[in-house]
Amino acid sequence: MTDAADDDAVLLRRSAAGDADAFARFVARHRAGVHRFATMLARDAHDAEEVLQQTFVQAYRGAAGARVDGGARPWLLTIARHALARLRRVAQAGPDTVSLEQLGREAGFADPAATPERVAAAVESRQLLHTALKALPAGDREVLVLRELEQLDGARTAAVLGLSLEAMKSRLHRARLRLLAEVRRRLPAGDEP
Amino acid sequence: MNVPPGGLTCFEVLAQLSDLLDGTLAAPQRQRVELHVAGCGDCARFGGAVARLIAGLRTGAVQGEGGGEALPGAVASRLDAAWRRALDPP
């Protein structure tokens, strides 16, 4: 059972009242997760660290008004996502116009050589999976990191992304197919599934 | 004319594959998709491949550089300094 004193909402309330020790505990609890999220989405380690710092500075400033029922991670990742967007200084991607059929083909749908076993063997390589993820468009990477790596549930993932649940599910499905296509491209010669 | 397994085409199954794997399909539709997958080698194989991909992501096979459970000490120190500066601006 979670000690009430350790609850995110309690720590943030104390932080807002000027209790620096409470905020230090809050930071210690969440900093690795925010850093992982930023590292997967930022251009480089420098930007990731910048996002990490901006996230917790803003979290401290916004502690009094934070709504973190069920945990502060989605709230923090939303702040981190906005910090990333400011750093990238790029326009939002346009609508995804590639057909689902084409995405499926590129991912190996209807390819007799695309066996689950060969995909499983490929994704055992942390490096291969990491490189494949990094090759995806930012929107695809973002939904995969939130849903699969951070393992937020569907509703929280949608909330962080500012999407409806249905729109998030559609983006997630297409992102999975694109990632599978990237994994296939990175298999050693002669081992393409 | 041949009726495809479950009364669904492979493309219809492809479109619902993530919902099937995430357990978010309503029961009647899930049964139709499962029936198709049970009778279609392509869809069974591809569904298995996507499932293994998701499992690979979820079992922590991938992390960002330096993005494991522990934050590098220097990064943690600079983070600490940053929010404490915000706490006590000069």
pLDDT in tens, A134-164: 999 989 999 999 999 989 999 999 999 999 9
pLDDT tier at A5 (50, 70, 90 boundaries)?
very low
The DSSP code sequence of A163-181 is --HHHHHHHHHHHHHHHHH
CATH architecture of A100-186: Orthogonal Bundle (1.10)
A40/B24 touch (CB, cutoff 8 Å), yes or no: no
List the alpha helices (DSSP H) in chain A.
8-16, 20-41, 45-61, 73-88, 100-107, 116-123, 126-134, 138-144, 154-161, 165-185
pTM over 0.95: no
CB A114 within 8 A of CB A108: yes
| pLDDT at residue A188 in the model | 65
pLDDT tier at A113 (50, 70, 90 boundaries)?
confident
Q: Is the pLDDT of residue B31 over 60?
A: yes
Per-residue pLDDT tens over the stretch A42-87? 989 999 999 999 999 999 999 998 888 888 999 999 999 999 998 8
| pLDDT at residue B90 in the model | 60
pLDDT tier at A190 (50, 70, 90 boundaries)?
low
Best mutation site among B12, B43, B52 for testing chain A: the one with the most A CBs within 10 Å?
B52
Is any Cβ of chain B less than 8 angstroms from the Cβ of A44? no
Domain A4-87: assigned CATH number:
1.10.1740.10
Give the closest-approach CA distance of A72 to chain B in angstroms. Answer: 17
Q: Is the pLDDT of residue B27 over 50?
A: yes
CA-to-CA distance for A39 and A134, rounded, in angstroms?
10
Q: Is the pLDDT of residue A100 over 70?
A: yes
pLDDT tier at B66 (50, 70, 90 boundaries)?
very low
Q: Per-residue pLDDT averaged across A109-124, rounded?
A: 82
**Residue that wins the pLDDT comparison between A180 and A119:** A180
From residue A23, give the alpha-carbon distance in Å to each of A60, A69, B41: 7, 17, 54
* Chain B residue with minimum CA distance to A123: B56
Lowest average pLDDT, out of A96-100, B34-38, B80-84, goes to A96-100
Q: What is the mean pLDDT of chain A?
A: 88
Contacts of B10 in chain A (CB under 8 A): 109-110
* Chain B residue with minimum CA distance to A18: B87
CA-to-CA distance for B89 and A159, rounded, in angstroms?
32
Q: Is the pLDDT of residue A189 over 70?
A: no
A39/B45 touch (CB, cutoff 8 Å), yes or no: no
Q: Per-residue pLDDT averaged across B17-38, rounded?
A: 95
| pLDDT at residue A89 in the model | 59
Is any Cβ of chain B less than 8 angstroms from the Cβ of A70? no
B66/A169 touch (CB, cutoff 8 Å), yes or no: no
Segment 81-110 of chain A within 8 Å of chain B by CB: 100-101, 104, 107-110
Boundaries of every domain in chain A? 4-87, 100-186
